[in-house]
Every structure is written in C-alpha cells, then in structure tokens.
Chain A
Amino acid sequence: MNKKGPLYALFLSLVLLLPGCSSLTVLNPKGPAARTLSDTIILSILVMLGVLAVVYILYIWVLVKYRAKKSNEGYVPPHEEGNVWLEATWIAIPILIVAFLSVVTVKTTSAVENVAADYKDQKPLVIYASSSNWKWHFSYPEEGIETVNYVNIPVHRAVEFRLYSFGTITSFWVPQLGGQKYAMSDMITTLHLSADTVGSFIGKNANFSGKGFAHMEFEALSMTDKDYQDWIKEVKETASPLTEDEFKGLLAMEHVGRKTYTSTHLSFSPPPGDHGDHMSNDGKDTDIDNGNTDHQEHKDIHPSPEPSSETEFDGEPHPEVDQPLPSSPVEEHTHHSD
C-alpha cells in the first residue's frame, strides 16, 4: 500500500527518460573520458537496480503476507533471535558487489586520470585553464594564444588541461568530454580530455563560487585540425598581445564576454606548482598522484614556464616591489567591483 510514493516517482522518471538519453548530457558522451564515465554510470545503475529489486520484492512480500488482517487475528508472532546463515548471506553478497564495483572504480578512475588509451602515443596539447571571479582564461603556451570564456581544441587530439584559480575554488567541467576537477589557487591540477567529434560543448564551473556563479559558463569547441590551424593563424593576424595591465584589468572584472590575445599571461604571472610539488616538496618525484609519469617529461619538452615551487607553496612574498603583477595567483588580491 505505501509503495505508491516511490513507485509513482519511478514511473514518472521512466516517462521522462523515454524521450531519449540525449537530454541527459552526462550519458551523451563525445569523448573517451566521458564515454568511460558514462559506461561506468550505466553499469552501476544496472547493478543497483538489481539490489533495489531484491529489497523491493522482499519488502512487498513481507508486507502483503504478514500484515494484520481478520484471518490472522490471534496469531502470535514467534520469537526469533536471528539466523547465522541468513545473516552471513546478506553480509557476503554485498561484499561481493562492493568488491566488483571497487575494481571497476579503480580501473576507470585510473583510465580517466591518464591520457585516454586511443591517444596514448600523442603528445598532448597543453592548455592552462584558470578562473578568476566568474570567467575562465585559457592559455595556449605552445601557440602563444590566450582566450577568455571559450576554448578551441582540435578533434581527436589528447588535451591536457592544467587548472588553477585566481581566487575561490572552482571546478572545471565539460560534461560531454569528461569529469570535472577543481581549480585552486595554490596548486595545479591536471585534467585529460579529448573530443571524438567536431562540435560545441557547454563547459562550466561546477563549484559554487559566489554571486556570479550561475553565469560562469564557457564554450568548448572541437574542430578539425585544419580549422584549428586556421583559427590560430587568424588569431595571430587579428588579435593583439595580452599586456600586464590588460590582464590586471581582466582579473578585476566580474564577467566579460569572449576575448582573444596573441600572448599568454603565463610569462608575467606564472601558475602555481602542481600536486606533486605539494606532496613531496621537491617536485622531482614521479608524479604518482596524477597517475601519470609522462607528464613530468612534457614539462621539459614544453617551453611553458616552470612552476616556481618555492614561491608558491612557501608563500614567500615576492621580492620585487615594483612588479605590478604578483608572480603567482597566490598573492593576487581580489578585485571586487563594489
């Protein structure tokens, strides 16, 4: 009888699910990482539906059979202490289920924390994505390009996003390409994404960060390699370099539209160190924490500015007084328009 509530909701959900999974962004992946996660989610839903079915069947059975009714008036329920074998069963089976899901978790976590298997042999394209107030800055150190609130990536290419923040903790998320990761002021986190198809995907900050949070979205556009090269050429021809003053002004703003520049802020405002630096303090250890050993090599290959680990983690004040911009976002002071 009191099954109505949950059943009603389940029925409702099925009705709503029928129009197709395409509106369920997370289950409509367009890249290897998102696909791994979507498969994991669907697998776990199926296992959990099995668990629910067992509990619900048992539940309905006991309620129907043992409810008080005229025919069992005067029935005195027995005294039952329990049953070792039955109790062992409902300890053992859940343990098996949890063990199975643990294996799935470790495997898939490791898969999405590394470059996707299909793109293992590529040199990833490094893009620094940093957040300030309620906007995103994307720096392409190799191309010497910086954009605000949109990011273009070549399709079928491993992309390594290096995330950090000029303020509150934000979470970089492009649901159709992969899971999210925090961008923080005192360390760099790494997110590996790739797109399998050409297309425009919504990216957003998923972690509440104050007043402008709801509007902190960007477009992630995956394009063919040729289009990507054309775009770079076009930017080089039409845009102008990002000066320190310009960048300072950008940081201070709450929201801006799209912007494009022909140089990055990394040269005058280097990012903080990565997680490895944090954990080991010397930054030379294998980067176990990111599950990726190549990652260290790339740092040498890319001319991108090396994180200056001693300035950021120890937080020593920067000695150069006349430098207008702080050397790392750690020392950046916020700019509230009010």
Chain B
Amino acid sequence: MDLEKFKVHGEPLIYGAMISIALATIGIIVGLTVFKKWGYLWREWLTTVDHKRIGVMYILAALLMLFRGGIDAIMMRLQTAAPDMKFLDAQHYNEVFTTHGLIMILFMAMPFIIGLMNVIIPLQIGARDVAFPRLNAVSFWLFFFGAMLLNISFVIGGSPDAGWSAYFPLASIEFSPTVGNNYYSLALQISGIGTLITGINFIVTILKMRAPGMKLMKMPMFTWSVLITNIIIVFAFPVLTVALALMMFDRLFGSQFFTMANGGMDMLWANLFWVWGHPEVYIVVLPAFGIYSEIIATFSKKNLYGYTSMVFSMLIISLLSFLVWAHHFYTMGQGVMVNSFFSITTMAIAVPTGVKIFNWLFTLRKGRITFTTPMLYTLAFIPIFTIGGVTGVMLAMASADYQYHNTMFLVAHFHYVLIPGAVFAVIAGFHYWFPKVFGFRLNERLGKHAFWWIIISFNVTFFPLFLLGLMGMTRRMYTYSEETGFGPLNMLSFAGALGLAIGFVILVYNIYWSTRYEPRDTTGDPWDARTLEWATNSPIPAYNFAVVPKVQTRDALWSAKQDNIPLFTEEITKIHMPSNTGKPFILGVVFFFFGFFLVFSMWIPAIVAGVGIILVMAAMSFDRDHGFYIPAKEVIATEKKLRGETV
C-alpha cells in the first residue's frame, strides 16, 4: 500500500493542525471515558430523532466550522496584509481560500440555518416534530460526515485548490492532480444528499403538519421563508448532485464531460455550478429574511408591515434566483443579447428585495423599539446589506462587470451580502432563540460587546476591498508587489479581520459565561414575543406541546396574550413519539468511508462500503418500529415540573 499519497508535506502549519486534531480527538475520547458519557452520548445525541437536538447538533457543527473557516480567513488576510509576504506559499494559499469558501457557505451558513430551521419550524407551526424524524437524522449525519470528509483533506492527501467554484479545466485531473478535488466532489455530494432530504422533509412538514387554523397566509414569516427556501433546495440541489457526479466520473473514471479534449466542455461546468450556485445564495439569505422579520416584529412590538407583499417578494426572488446564473460569467463571451437578458433579470431581484427593506422600515415606524442583542444585529443588517444590495445592482450591469469581474470589488460585494444577509441573521437568531432551547438568555452586556466588535471590524475588513477592486486587484492572488500600491488597504483589512476574530471569541465566551451565571427563565416567553414557539415551556419538552394549539391569527401567541384567546383548549392525552435509532449515524459513518476510499481510488474497500450503504438503507426500510406513547399522566407531571410547580 502506497502511503505516500496520504501525506501532506512541508508546512509546519499542517503538522500543527495534525497534532491539534490528534490531541483534540484523544481529549474527547478520554473525556467521554473518564466521565462515563459514552452511553449518554449514544442514547441522547447520536441516535436522537428529536428535531430540537438535531438542530442543536447542526448549530454546534456550524460554530466549529465557523472557527475553521475563520482561521482560514485570517490566514488569507495575513498572507496578503503586506506586499511579498512569505507566510503561505501559492499552493497552500489556494487550498486555504478554496476551503474557506466551501466551509463558510456549505458547512457553516447552511447548517446554521438548517439548525435554526430544525429547532424552530415545528414549534412555530405547532407540530410535535418534523414529518420524517428519522430522515431528518439521516440528513444531519450525511451533512456531518460530508463536512468531516472535507475537513480531513487538510491533513490527509491535501485540500481542494481550484477555488470553491472549481472551474474546469483547472479542477480536472490534468491540472489538479492531487486528491483535493476528489474530496470536493465526494464531500459535497454526501452532504448535498443530506440537504436535499432536508428540503423534502421541511416542505412536507410545513405543508402537512401545521396546527389547526394556521392557514398558509397565517404562517409566521420565518416559516414562509423556510418553505420557500426548501422549495429552492429541491429544485437546485439535484443540479449540484448531477454536476458533482459528472465531476467525479471525470476525475476518477476518465470520462470527458468537462475536459479540454474529446468534446468535453469546460463551460458546461461553470453553467451547471452556477445554476445551483446562485439559488444557493438565496437558500442562505431567504431564511435570514425570515429571522429578521420575526425579530423586528418582536422588538418593535408591532405586527409585520405588508405581510402579503413580503411573502410574494420572497416567491418572486425564488423564481428569479433560477434565471440569473450567467451573471457569474458575463465575460465568457456570450455577447450582448445574452448578457443583457441576465443583467435585467439580476437587477430585477433588487425590486422584491427593496420591498422587504421598506416593509421592515415601516414595521419599525410607529413601533416601540428596544435594542436587545438580536435586534442590534437585525438593525445593523439593514444599512450594511443595502450596501451589498446596491453594489449587487452595479455588478449586475454586464458592461461594468467586465471591470469588476474577478476583482476584490466582487469579493467585497458578496461579503457585504452574505455576512449581514446570513451570518448576522444566524447570530441574531441564535441569541433570539437561545432561551427557548436552553431556558436562559445569553448575557446582554457581553452580547453587545461582541456585536460592536463584529460590526465595526466587518466594515474595516471588507470596505477597503471595494477600493482594491477598483485599483485592479484581482481576487485569489496569493501575493502582490510593492509597486501595485495594494499594501495599505490590505493591511487595514487584516486589522479588521483580527477585530472580527475578537468579536467571535467574545460571542463564544458569552455562551460559557451565560451557562454559568445567567438567571433561568421560567416564563417560556422572555422577549414578550408573538409566535407559537414561545407558547410552550423552555427548555422545550420532548413532545413540544402538551396539547396541540389552535390558531386563529397570524401572531397567534400575541393575540392570545392581548385578547385572552386560549391557544390550548383540549385535554392532555397520550402523545405518540418516534423512537430513537442508531441507523442514520451508522449510515453516515459508512458513507464517510465510502467517500474516503473513492477519494483515494481504493476500489475494493469502496465497493465494500458501497454494499454497506445499501445494507443499512435496506435495514432502515424494513424497520418496523412505529414509535411509542408518552402516557397522559407523565405529560401532566412534566408540564407541572417545567412550570416550577411541585408534582
């Protein structure tokens, strides 16, 4: 067996990473053994089908990935902070920016949002779980092991290095002979299947499992945004699945879909990638719009302004998101007609997005605005995201894009869209819903400290990039010379990146601090909020609602509080719950090995793992476990305990 191909050479940083991964793994194993937590971990987390726990695991994984991607970002900013830096070499830099993009979009933003979806959606629609709880566990474990597969590439065999968009022919075996892009095609494929299953699961959940009385146009805005997002997932992800499969065939089995010879078409990859890639942007941004809508309504103590136009603007955005992909390569020589079409469809997205901005501003108008941490992130989003939006319109103009394309101007633009449009949203949602899941709030003082560090540093990091782009600095350059004059602004940007890091460290410290010292909330509704998730206890019992609520208005809990309309009218009866299962976890593990063996073209083990996948799936299909009932007596006892009454 040739061990040489597993090794990654030369870099002290990589050896450091290997050692820290090894130490962390040993630490976790020793810790679990010493505290006798293996059983707890298996029973309560690895085998769980509870949407809340799955959501929490998604968010934990996302936070881990946020730090991995953040370290990548700091390494990039450090390498470009001054002319002719020698911190990273070209190959290493290329790997770092590629994994930064992949991790931040696919393994940070996506799981963070899917995690919040998991925790909140069933609660918000008054359901006991998602439609297919076991599939939900399958989704999570496929995502998780896909992410792990990509992450080990850093220390085993080498990371992908052709950019997160992996354009062919650069990503072909001819120009990228390392296993890096094999990891790309397989890790994304495995986690992508998980995402596709999530999409189906949540569409069914939202369409079929709403509480009685909750008509479509009475759904909370976050639920609407998630429904639309999952529709986009179901239409967009199959394109990625196919594209990645073709890529895998090209790289592993010598097919010629995207190669330069024998009729292969490199431009086809670019098209397929962006047919998925552009809707992907809206997959992370639309739920953010939903989160902001909930937070703005709650903290201005008003219902959402222009609910109907909010819903329709999201529907129009989802439709347009599939009609704009070619704006990622105006410079491919399609000519005036095609570029004009895509310019107009792209700029058209500004209209429904503008509608949302104005509706939010008018929700705030006549409200009584309180500046809590989640609200601060929401309020910071509006002006910053608007900069991202207007620069988006500027980039949409095909002619002008000939000058922005591939420059730092573009990099600045999409960070101005994605950070306020997705990252601030998940942080806001995290602070907002944290007390629902854990029963206590995150500390406001520390939260605001982190907020100011993050907001100011964000602008210091990314605003200079607009100017660098106009100065002619292209993206993905690992170094530049003194004469270019790019030095000072890059140094400023690096300083900003350090500030962002401080902000995120404070944010995580706040979780630790609040866990120890923050007072517990016994009301279940600490923010005086409006929607159903706040109508149950915090932390949430396994069955979510002892009695299924009856909904009459849009802000169901708010009207219940204002007009004394009772939400829960029925008697407590026994509750049907799904049983835990270890099979999704095992399926994830087998998929991980299947992917790993394919990456290294180890055919026999790969075939064995492939058969293993089929066997686990077969075992799941023949599973006759129909769940169990929680007796009414037990439910009543739990409810009393959660309300602090003695049993």
Contacts and interface: CB of A to CB of B under 8 A. Distances in A.
B511 interface: no
A79 B303 contact: yes
Interface string A49-68: 00110011011001101111
A186 B471 contact: no
A195 to B, nearest CB: 16
A16 B471 CA distance: 12
B132 interface: no
B394 A24 contact: no
Nearest to A172: B331
A217 B150 CA distance: 33
B23 to A, nearest CB: 32
Interface residues of B, number: 113
B456 A4 contact: yes
B138 interface: no
A77 B367 contact: yes
Interface in A296-338: 313-315, 317, 329-334, 336
A168 interface: yes
A13 B463 contact: yes
B603 interface: no
Nearest to A333: B174
Interface string A62-104: 1101111000100111111111001100110011011001101
A2 B386 contact: no
A208 interface: yes
A101 to B, nearest CB: 6
B3 interface: no
A333 B479 CA distance: 28
B611 interface: no
Given A78-B302, A112-B399, A2 B380 contact: yes
A186 B459 contact: no
Contact of A169 (B167, B340, B390): B167
B629 interface: no
A71 to B, nearest CB: 11
A63 B300 contact: no
Nearest to A81: B307
A66 B306 contact: no
A175 B472 contact: yes
A41 B405 CA distance: 13
B333 A275 contact: yes
A45 B394 contact: yes
Contacts of A175: 403, 472
B477 A13 contact: no
Contact of A109 (B270, B336, B387): B336
Contacts of B359: 82, 87
Contacts of B336: 106, 109-110, 113, 291
A213 interface: yes
B175 interface: yes
Contacts of B394: 41, 44-45, 48
B474 interface: yes
A103 to B, nearest CB: 10
B309 interface: yes
Contacts of B333: 181-182, 187, 189-190, 275, 289-290
Interface stretch (B29-37, B70-78, B227-235, B369-377): B369-377
B369 A67 contact: yes
Contacts of A6: 383-384, 387, 459
B212 to A, nearest CB: 24
A117 B463 CA distance: 36
B476 A104 contact: no
Contacts of B335: 113, 275, 288-291
Contacts of B565: none
A17 B470 CA distance: 11
A3 B161 CA distance: 38
A171 B406 CA distance: 9
A205 B267 CA distance: 18
Interface string B292-333: 000000001111011111000000000000000000010111
B391 interface: yes
A66 B300 contact: yes
Nearest to A44: B394
Contacts of B170: 168-169, 208-210
B478 interface: yes
A111 B398 CA distance: 12
Contacts of A59: 361, 382-383
A213 B477 contact: yes
Nearest to B161: A210
Interface in A1-34: 1-6, 8-10, 12-13, 16-17, 23-27, 34
Nearest to B370: A68
B25 interface: no
Contacts of B1: none
Interface string B251-276: 00000000011111111001000000
B63 interface: no
Interface in B135-175: 161-163, 167, 169-170, 174-175
B307 A206 contact: no
A105 B340 contact: yes
A115 interface: no
B115 to A, nearest CB: 26
A163 B380 CA distance: 44
A179 B94 CA distance: 25
Contacts of B339: 109
B94 to A, nearest CB: 7
A315 B364 contact: no
A111 B399 contact: yes
B626 interface: no
B642 interface: no
A190 B404 CA distance: 19
Given A12-B460, A68-B370, A77 B300 contact: yes
Contacts of B177: 336
Contacts of B309: 82, 87, 91
A80 B305 contact: yes
B361 A181 contact: no
Given A37-B399, A41-B394, A168-B169, A186 B266 contact: yes
A93 B463 CA distance: 28
Interface string A169-208: 1010101001111101111011000000000001011111
Contacts of A291: 335-337
A37 B472 CA distance: 14
Contact of B343 (A105, A202, A210, A289): A105
B348 interface: yes
A224 interface: no
B273 to A, nearest CB: 12
B263 A62 contact: no
B432 interface: no
B605 interface: no
Contacts of A37: 399-400, 402-403
A315 B397 contact: no
B368 A75 contact: yes
26 contacts: A5-B458, A6-B459, A12-B460, A13-B463, A16-B467, A52-B390, A55-B361, A67-B371, A77-B302, A77-B368, A86-B362, A87-B358, A102-B340, A105-B343, A106-B343, A108-B399, A109-B399, A112-B399, A178-B402, A208-B170, A210-B161, A210-B170, A213-B90, A213-B476, A289-B334, A290-B333
Q: Which 10 interchain pairs have the tightest Cβ spacing?
A: A179-B402, A189-B333, A9-B459, A82-B306, A289-B335, A48-B390, A108-B399, A25-B472, A5-B455, A9-B463
Interface of A: 1-6, 8-10, 12-13, 16-17, 23-27, 34, 36-38, 40-41, 44-45, 48, 51-52, 55-56, 58-59, 62-63, 65-68, 72, 75-83, 86-87, 90-91, 94-95, 97-98, 101-102, 104-106, 108-113, 167-169, 171, 173, 175, 178-182, 184-187, 189-190, 202, 204-214, 275, 288-291, 313-315, 317, 329-334, 336
Given A2-B380, A67-B370, A211-B91, 12 more contacts: A9-B460, A16-B489, A24-B470, A52-B390, A55-B386, A77-B366, A82-B306, A87-B359, A94-B351, A98-B393, A167-B260, A290-B335
